[in-house]
Amino acid sequence: MLFGRKWNRDGVIRFADGGRGLVIYRYGSDSRDLPLLPGSRIEVAAGQAIAFVVENALADVFDKGSYVLTPENFPMLAEKVAFRTRPIRPIQAELYFINMNPVTERKWATRSPALVRENGETYRVRAYGTYDFRVIDAIPFMLEVFRSRGFQTTYEIVSFLPTLIASAFAATVSELKMPVPEIVNHPWEISSLVCGKASQSAGELGLEITNVTIEGASLPDM
């Protein structure tokens, strides 16, 4: 996200990434973030979603808009925490801002070679390249990536996705029965197939792999 990070002087809860390319941000991680008080206004920018989490359970999820933090507007959150207004106390919940914009030109590579059989021989093929992705559905993203897999930072997410893409590459070259020289000399020709297979797996996580580029392939044993 290409927003400028600013201190919220108007008392509105919002998050701007400042060009760091974050996928998820836990509000309150910065000392300048405001407390979550009953009646606070939350601004969700275009290309963002928010999710409340209470004791590792997902509560309300909202996309672009302006919301006042009340039980009426956040009913699932209200079921899990008490909205005490006198005296005013911070709401005991975690608020996450999710980046729904494309994240581009991340690196991937096969950690283990893909095994390709041809004419009774088994070849070990390595590959590398770049990929683009985005969050397309905040609910399965929070349930599957954040809660089930325990990924709570952008680093953990982008460290996992290259493994998913490498698996898609291995499955693609195995299923195609493509001659090994073609894989090594023209790897970009199967980029779209790898992208489709990777995106299919990522869809269960609320993610979409929008592009995969295979920049090179090699036979390390030869």
| Tens digits of residue pLDDT in 3-19 | 334 445 568 999 988 77
Q: Letter for the amino acid at 161?
A: L
Instruction: Enumerate the CATH 3.30.479.30 domain ranges in the chain, comma separated.
Output: 103-218
Of 106, 108, 81, 107, the closest CA to residue 95 belongs to 81
Name the CATH code of domain 103-218 (choices 3.40.50.300, 3.40.190.10, 3.30.479.30, 3.90.198.10). Answer: 3.30.479.30
Q: Return the structure tokens found at 220.
A: 């390390």
Q: Return the structure tokens found at 142.
A: 């929070």
Rg of the chain's alpha carbons, rounded to an integer? 22
| Tens digits of residue pLDDT in 169-211 | 999 998 888 889 888 998 888 999 999 999 999 998 999 999 9
